[in-house]
Amino acid sequence: MNHKRLWLLIVLLLSGMVPVAVAQEAGTAWDRLSAEEQKLLQPFAERWDQLPPERQDRLKKGVKRWAGMTPEQRRQAKQRLQRWKAMSPEQRQRARARYERFRRLPPEEQERLRRTRRWFQSLPPERRQELRQRWRNLPPGQRRALRERLQNMTPEQRREVRERRRNMTPEQRRAWRERRYQRSLDPQDNAGSQNTPYQPGK
């Protein structure tokens, strides 16, 4: 991978997608970086000492994160870069806003959303495309109502749902997720649903 592409990848990983590190009192001098860091951050070499300390810190963390990725994770990161580059400014702003909302969720709720996403990614490509299309075909008001439903659940309702899931077998959980998603896309069932679906491709 050439330096320009790697630089773009680092910017993607860190531009509004990860929490900003607390700025240090002083930045890191270029000659204090490791040889590997200097190699990957070469595009910044001439102006490194002029970068704000928090920017230096984000870039160093990006290098460390990249170095620890598996080949598959790097492949996925490249795909995210391509999607990010194809977004309009408005789409990027919405993506940052979604991330901020996710970051403010309780850890258990974040983990629930990660599990749902893993389930969705485990589906065959044609099934994922079908569900994406059904979601996109929903009227905007219906999408908004579904998103708000989860936000309006009480802590007791959330605990009850989690307890039911814990008591299910893996097969029952997969079937339950599928039924819940199907109901969320059915206008006749949405009025009584208490769950917001995972929003594929959003």
| 86-117: pLDDT as tens digits | 999 999 999 899 889 888 888 888 888 888 88
22 pLDDT higher than 70: no
- Predicted local confidence at residue 23, as pLDDT: 37
Highest mean pLDDT pick, 22-36, 59-73, 158-172: 59-73
Which has the higher per-residue pLDDT, 22 or 38?
A: 38
Please, what is the average pLDDT of the chain? 76
Q: What is the C-alpha radius of gyration for the chain, rounded to an integer number of angstroms?
A: 21
- Please work out, in degrees rounded to the nearest 5, the angle formed at the alpha carbon of residue 89 by the alpha carbons of 78 and 103: 70
Q: Which band of pLDDT confidence, cut at 50, 70 and 90, is reported for residue 13?
A: low
- Tokens at residue 169, please? 């077998």
- Predicted local confidence at residue 30, as pLDDT: 92
Measure the CA–CA gap between 73 and 69, rounded to whole angstroms.
6
Mean pLDDT of 19-43: 75
Mean pLDDT of 10-29: 53
Q: How far is CA 54 from CA 25, 50, 128, 144, in A?
A: 10, 12, 39, 36
List pLDDT tens digits, range 130-171.
888 887 887 888 878 877 776 677 777 777 777 777 777 888
Mean pLDDT of 33-42: 89
Q: DSSP secondary-structure letter at 80?
A: H
With contact defined as beta carbons under 8 Å apart, do 9 and 66 qualify? yes
Regarding pTM above 0.85, the answer is no
178 pLDDT higher than 60: yes
Measure the CA–CA gap between 125 and 27, rounded to whole angstroms.
46
Measure the CA–CA gap between 38 and 30, rounded to whole angstroms.
8
Which has the higher per-residue pLDDT, 13 or 59?
A: 59
Highest mean pLDDT pick, 24-38, 58-72, 185-199: 58-72
- Predicted local confidence at residue 141, as pLDDT: 83
